[in-house]
Amino acid sequence: QSVLTQPPSVSGAPGQRVTISCTGSSSNIGAGYDVHWYQQLPGTAPKLLIYGNSNRPSGVPDRFSGSKSDTSASLAITGLQAEDEADYYCQSYDTSLSAFYVFGTGTKVTVL
Amino acid sequence: EVQLVESGGGLVQPGGSLRLSCAASGFTFSSYEMNWVRQAPGKGLEWVSYISSSGSTIYYADSVKGRFTISRDYAKNSLYLQMNSLRVEDTAVYYCVRDLGNAFDIWGQGTMVTVSS
């Protein structure tokens, strides 16, 4: 049911920069709705990482940044650390009849 | 401390029913929209249902429409999900989630629902 497409996996060495894309359509991201990002560490509940396309909640390191353009969004992690190894999901609002909120397909980040 | 605690998960046969509960604490429950989100084993996140702060507006994912009912009790600061006609594909961890301007800022620990014969 996911209508936001993410790469299944990305990897990088400690200290490197990785980016995760989130591609939507004219009924969600392309319609101007905000994109939010979540981090899910193994065996835990997801945690809000970025809200409103590029804003970090209190306590989230500034190594994490978000951006949005047209029908897509991106999450960047700079200075990759071992504890960043997790699953990441984007999320937005959708105006289609089949969904209200939609999530991305998810991306596994592996620290080499 | 702002907290959401789910309960009510378990093993149920196909066609059966289950009611999930979510106890909210540490914030003014009546001021927030709420959602249920689920995650099947080894799979991604799927939004299930939304209820407005007043309870007057409700939405469901197509996959559960007509079978699940979301509700809230302001006196008990609780959110509920009544699940009927359960299917094997409803097997998942169900999360209670606070909605902050379309972003999900607070998540519960989740409760596991297994639908199997």
Please identify among residues 33-72 of chain A the ones whose CB lies closer than 8 Å to any CB of chain B: 33-34, 36, 38, 40, 45-48, 51-52, 57
Asked whether B6 and B97 are in contact (CB, 8 A), the reply is no
Distance from CA of B34 to the nearest CA of A (A): 12
pLDDT at res. A2: 67
- pLDDT digit string (tens) for B7-51? 999 999 999 999 999 999 999 999 999 999 999 999 999 999 999
What are the structure tokens assigned to A101, written together?
């909120």
Q: How far apart are CA B3 and CA B84, in angstroms?
A: 27
B107 contacts in chain A (CB < 8 Å)? 45-47
Question: In B, which residues are within 8 Å of A52 by CB distance?
Answer: 101, 103
Contacts of A39 (CB under 8 A, 6+ apart): A46, A47, A49, A86, A87, A88
Q: Evaluate if residue B53 carries a pLDDT over 90.
A: yes
Using alpha carbons, select from B28, B44, B25 the residue that is nearest to residue B96: B25
Order of strands, sheet of B3-7, starting from the edge strand that comes earlier in the sequence:
B3-7, B18-25, B78-83, B68-73
- β-partners of residue A109 are A10, A86
Which DSSP helix (H) or strand (E) runs through B73?
A: strand B68-73
pLDDT of residue A96: 85
Would you write out chain A's pLDDT as a tens digit for each of its 112 residues? 568 999 999 999 999 999 999 999 999 999 999 999 999 999 999 999 999 999 999 999 999 999 999 999 999 999 999 999 999 999 999 998 777 999 999 999 999 9
How many other C-beta atoms lie within 10 A of the C-beta of residue B74?
Answer: 11
Q: What is the pLDDT of residue A1?
A: 58
Q: Could you report the per-residue pLDDT of B65-85, keeping only the tens digit for each?
A: 999 999 999 999 999 999 999
User: Nearest CA of chain A to the CA of B4: how many Å?
Assistant: 11
Query: What distance in Å separates residue A22's CA from the closest CA in chain B?
Result: 14
